Structures are given as C-alpha cells and as structure tokens.
Chains A and B, each alone.
Chain A
C-alpha cells in the first residue's frame, strides 16, 4: 500500500513533465497537422540551458534558491523559444504545402542535427548536478517504508500547474488563442479573415518550446542528471501521451502525460525497470490501434 502510494507520487511527478512536453506536440499537431519530431530535442536543450543558467548563477554568487529558479526558468523558456521559432522557420515553413511526409522527414533531420549539435557543443558526457532543494515531506510510514513527497516534487507540481493555468487562459481567453484555434480549424479561411497565420504558427512553436524547456528544467532538477540523448525517449513518450489524450486536445495532453507517467512508475516498481520503455512504447502501439482518437480526441469521419 505504502509502496503503491509512493509510486503514485513518483508517477504523477513524471507525468507532469511528460504532460508539459506533450502540450507542445498536441498544439503543433493541432495547428499544422505534423508531428514535430524535434520537439523532444527542444526539451533536451531546455534542460541544458537550465544547467548552464544554474551553473552561471551559482558562479555569480546568487544563493537564493527561489530567485535562481525563477531566473533559470525565464532564461530557459526564452532561449528555447528562440529554438522553437528557428526550427519552424528553417525546417518546416518552407515545406508547408509540400507532400505530407516531407515536414516529418525534415523534422527527423532537425532532431538528429540538434542532438549532435549539443553533443559537439556541450560534450557527450553525462552531466550531473546536486539537488538544489534537498529534503522531503514525510507523509506516513508503514512497516518501515516511508512514503515521502520531496520538496522538489512539490515545486514541480506547483510550477506545472501554474503554467498550465496560464496557458489555458492564453488559449481560451485571448485573441491570440482565438487566432490559434481558428488556424486549427481552417488555415486558409483564417488567413482570408486577416489572421496572420505565419505569426500564429510561429507563436505556437515558441510557446510549445518554452513549455518543453520548463519540462527540461524540471527533469534536470528532479533527476539531477542529463545527457544529449534524453530528448529522444522523452519525446516519444510525450508523443505517446499526446496520442493517448487525443491529439489536438490540450487537457488530453496533460491527462495522457499523467497516465504515461503512472504506467511507467508502476511498471518500473512492480514489473521490470529495464523494460519500462517497452511498456510506454507498447502503450503507444496499443492505443493507436485500439482507439486512434485517444481519450479526449475528436472522432473524425473519413471524408469521401
């Protein structure tokens, strides 16, 4: 029981990180109908940016942890946003209107390029960092097993939920959000009505990348260890989360992320840690076969 509760806490933490990445996949898919294969690598770059910022701030002698976290978050989100913008501008925009698989192939190239760019610029070795906020909240103890909620997990919950609230407000209540939803429905019509579709798409990429960067920062803080390869597996899992929730649905992406996090945590805890990736990938295959529209996705009727 206690063990299960602990896995539940761990799973939700992990799931929140996946959910943040999944939002980026789902937004991009919703608006231009492509799988942004390089999104996982933006997440990886976000975690490297966070590491760089934290190291630099420490060297500058900033010791207040909240200030450091806030600065790092803003820095990582902004710079990753530039990455998101550039990726769309360079690799996807010229291919809009080309055959369907063209942007996906370009995205694969971008993903490989980013991975190896980080390998060259930051080195291939694993980077690790001591925990910024050590310590935990003991929830209860049973048969000598302590169920605990670390401060770090609390930070992750708070940051993720705050961002999601802001983000939901952005998409549902602002004119930018309305433009995004309009482009999602019908790009051509939206542009005829005077919406700057290129700008809207760019903004989507920037927001998606910023959220992924925050996820990258959380990943770094939570695990304390990153390398240039983390984007690939995390990316596929977050994509799974997006599909599970229903591609195009924002709440779906978060729910899907939580489910994937839970599946992974419980699978590692009870079945086999070595095969945890197999579990996540199998879920992807099964979900796509059994319910390709996901939990909250719209069923689209095939137009003939």
Chain B
C-alpha cells in the first residue's frame, strides 16, 4: 500500500511537470497585440489529482489481480467466436436501418459504412499483407477527384466513373508501390505518409485543375437506372416514377444502400481472396517474406497486388464520398483520415473483417456522440489509440481462421501470428 502510494505520488509529480506550464499557463494574444498568460491552476490540480487516483487504482488493481490469478493463460480473444452470430445480426440491422432509422441515423449510417469500407480495404494491405500504409487517404482522394473531375469536364455519370475511379486509384497504388514496396515495414509507412502529403499539397496548389483549397462543388448525385433523386421530384425522378411524395429521405436512403453494397463488395472480395492463392500468399508474406522468396513467390508482384486492390477500394469509396457530399476539397484528405482508418483496422484486430466493422461503429458512431465536444474528440481518439495498442495490441478480435483445412478448422491464437515484417 505504501509502495502504491509512493508510485501514485511519483506519477502525480510527473503529471504536474507535464501540465503545470502547458495547461496552467495558457498563452493568449492580449488586446494590445502582445502575448499574455492566462492561468488555469484548477485544471492542473484536477489533472494531477486524476493522475494520482488513476495510478493508485491501477497499481492496486494490478496487485490484486496478480495475487488471485494463479495461472495466466493465453486465451483466444473473447470476441473471436462472436463473428458467427454477430455478423448476420449486424448485416440485418444494417439492411433495415433506412427503413426504421431517422434521417440523421441514416446519415450517420452512411458515414460509418464509408469507414467500414475503407477499413476493409486497408485491411487487405495492412491486415493480410502486413504492409503499413499511412497514405491510404491519398487513394481515397484520387477516387474522389477522379469522379469529380470526370463529371465536371466530361459530364460522365457516377456509375460510369465508379469503376474508373477504382482503376485510377489502383494505377496510382501501383505507381507508388512499384519503387517503394521493397522497403522495410516502418520505412514503407513513412514513404506512404509522404506520398499522401504530396498528393494533398498538389491538390491544394494545382488550382486550375482542382480548384485549390476551394475544392470542387456541384458534383452530380448518383441515379438509379436513370432516375434522379432531386428534392423537388419532377419528371424522371424516383418519387415521380413510383408516384411517391418527393422527399430527400429517398436520396439519403439510396446513398446508404449504394455504400452498403460497395462495402459488402469489398468484404466479399477480401474474404474470398483470403481463401485463394493470392490471399494466402499475402498472409505468408506477412509471416515471413524471406521464406516466400525461397518458395518462388514473386514478392514484389504479390505486394503490389495487395497495394493496388486495397487502393482500388479506397478509390471506390472516394468516388462515393464525392457524390454523397457533392463537394470535395483537400481538407477532407489529411493524414488524420489515414490515421483514423488505420486505427479502425488496428482496433478491430488486424485481418479481422467483423472486428473492423465493429471498430468503425464504435469509433465513428461513438465519435458522433461526442460531437458537442469536437475539440476533445481527436484528443480522446489519440489517447484511445495508445490505450488500445498498449492493452490489446492485437485488437478486439484477434486470431485467425485457417483458410483451408482437412478436418475441423481451429482458430489460431494471435500469439502465433506475426504482424508485418522487418
């Protein structure tokens, strides 16, 4: 107990060191233009007190657990088996959402579903192939701008542009991937990050093409077999054709089903690929690159396919993002977006489909709850990412199901799986 108090006291002292200046003394521009300090000692006291109490509780709890737990066993994740019944339930709920949900709920659903799709796409690259891509948002941007520019300059519709956006994103993925994919894991991460930033800076500064910081507006909405979803109804619109009262809710619901379909496509392709030679090679690559090479697998090509397929899904999602918001600007494609998608994949458990979906619901849906605390949202997000890594580095759903088996397939514990090479 004395030791625990000492420990907590030390932590409080450190917390004081961290916070007394940065929180206690806020720099502020005074009315005469010079700098002044605003003092917030109450906040410092609260933070230091919270650190003391928190640390004390943590130390005591750990001591208690150490004395009661006789055998520490590595158990497969609690959620690991949950996928079997949870997945169909989620799927049905997701399908029914536009029918029962409010306009706001559907809007949130669209947002969550976009991140689910991005998460599944990135999961191919990070979770299966073990390549840490910190510039995933670049391909999202390529998809969004492809559609916006093709629609603006050539008058092409959403459904024509969707595959083009995916192809262009995949092309960019290969262009970047070809030279950099032989780099080690963390170097690759930084290079992809740099690439993402380059794309963003170019989008901001190439004003003639991209509209610069002002972005592109008036991007056309998608149609359903030629039927439009205009607010006023009218000739050729969805509500007119079916004799319904014109309402924007139809458009929102339609957009929801579009992204729902796209997300399901992403899921289907990646689940299927995992059971095929290509996906198997990705996982082998994640486990041991040198052994792959010794087995005659062309490592570069295999990585490139993962990179390109992952990028293509980001491209699809980007085109959808453009058509949904009808307006895009470089601001939507910052590094933080890449970090959010990565956090979803990591939190869900690298390589786990259901985990990614759950993590997207928790993080994006949960983020919506914190909407009123917008300032603190990203702070909490960052802290959460650290906490998840430290306490559950393998994410919510860890372990993997074998892609093929002779007898009954058993779940493989996460302690066996290596994530990323280097």
Contact = CB atoms under 8 A, between A and B. Distances in A.
Interface of A: 34-35, 45, 48-49, 51-56, 58-59, 75, 79, 82-83, 85-86, 90-91, 94-95, 98-106, 108-123, 125, 127-130, 232, 236, 239-240, 243, 274-275, 277-278, 281-282, 284-285, 288-289, 292, 302, 304
Given A116-B382, A120-B376, A236 B37 contact: no
A9 to B, nearest CB: 26
Given A101-B130, A243-B190, 5 more contacts: A51-B27, A55-B35, A112-B378, A116-B381, A120-B375
B381 A112 contact: yes
B186 A111 contact: no
A34 B343 CA distance: 18
B382 A110 contact: yes
Contacts of B420: 99-101
Contacts of B384: 109
Contact of A122 (B17, B26, B290, B386): B26
Contact of B27 (A35, A122, A275, A288): A122
A154 B408 CA distance: 73
Given A82-B17, A278-B201, A59 B23 contact: no
A172 B185 CA distance: 30
Contacts of A125: 29
Nearest to B202: A278
B40 to A, nearest CB: 8
B280 interface: no
Contact of B393 (A99, A119, A274): A99
B186 A112 contact: no
Mostly helix, strand, loop or mixed at chain A's interface? helix
Contacts of A52: 21-22, 25, 27, 37
Given A99-B418, A282-B198, A114 B382 contact: yes
Given A109-B386, A288-B187, A274 B376 contact: no
Contacts of B342: 105, 108
- Which has the most chain A C-beta neighbours within 10 Å: B34, B179, B194? B194
A91 B21 contact: no
A112 B385 contact: yes
A106 B385 CA distance: 6
A34 B130 CA distance: 17
Contacts of B376: 116, 120
A43 B174 CA distance: 35
B406 interface: no
B187 A55 contact: no
Interface in B1-56: 14, 17-18, 21-23, 25-29, 34-37, 43
Contact of B180 (A275, A285, A304): A285
B257 interface: no
Nearest to A78: B17
A123 B22 CA distance: 11
B194 A284 contact: yes
A302 B294 CA distance: 14
B17 A79 contact: yes
Interface string B96-129: 0000000000000000000000000000000000
B74 interface: no
Contacts of A49: 21-22
Interface string B406-422: 00000000000011111
Q: How large is the interface on B (under 10, 10 to 19, 20 to 34, 35 or more residues)?
A: 35 or more
Contacts of A75: 21
Given A79-B17, A109-B343, A48 B27 contact: yes
A301 B397 CA distance: 37
Interface string B195-210: 1011001101100000
Nearest to A55: B35
Contacts of A95: 389-390, 393
A7 B350 CA distance: 47
Nearest to A276: B201
B126 to A, nearest CB: 8
Given A98-B393, A117-B379, A122-B26, A288 B189 contact: no
A275 B386 contact: no
Contacts of B422: 100
Contact of B194 (A34, A45, A106, A236): A236
Contacts of B18: 79, 82-83, 86
B180 A51 contact: no
B339 interface: yes
Contacts of A278: 198, 201-202
A23 B183 CA distance: 22
B205 A274 contact: yes
A106 B419 CA distance: 15
B193 interface: yes
B187 A275 contact: no
Nearest to B23: A121
A116 B25 contact: no
B151 interface: no
Nearest to A290: B179
Contacts of B183: 288-289, 292
Nearest to A58: B35
Contacts of B198: 278, 281-282
Given A232-B335, A289-B179, A100 B194 contact: no
B383 interface: yes
